[in-house]
Homo-oligomer: A and B are copies of this chain.
Amino acid sequence: MTDLDACAVQVVDAVKVSGARRALPGDPELGKLTDLFRLLGDPTRARILYALLAAEELCVCDIAATTHTAETTTSHALRLLRTAGVVSAQRVGRMMYYRLADGHVRMLLELTREHIREDGGR
């Protein structure tokens, strides 16, 4: 779309560039990666996830109470997280209980919080 070719001609370190280009995630993988990160990049959803990290399992109402968010907003957020496979849901009577989908998500949340705490977000 733009002057990408012009730029490619002026490559400084061609070896590094072609090496990095090969190591780059492909479009489908990159899409999944950014989808996941984008989901975690919203305060409402992040609050929900950290609430589930602490409580193991919660119903929608209790998630809303924990995160100080309207129940409708919570439900919308949970749908996105559920669709993406970040959380899993289980119906018990008329309530839906949510929990983090797997250990990777837990590690991701813990690692990032550690990172923030250690160097103050720098």
Contact = CB atoms under 8 A, between A and B. Distances in A.
Interface in A98-114: 101-102, 104-105, 107-108, 111-114
A70 interface: yes
Majority secondary structure of chain A interface residues (helix, strand, loop or mixed): helix
A51 B7 CA distance: 16
Q: Chain A interface: which size bin?
A: 35 or more
A19 B55 contact: yes
A115 to B, nearest CB: 4
B66 A24 contact: yes
Copies of this protein in the complex: 2
Interface of A: 1-4, 7-8, 10-13, 16-17, 19-25, 29-43, 46-47, 50-55, 58-59, 61-62, 64-71, 85, 95, 101-102, 104-105, 107-108, 111-122
Nearest to A119: B102
A1 B23 CA distance: 48
A37 B46 contact: yes
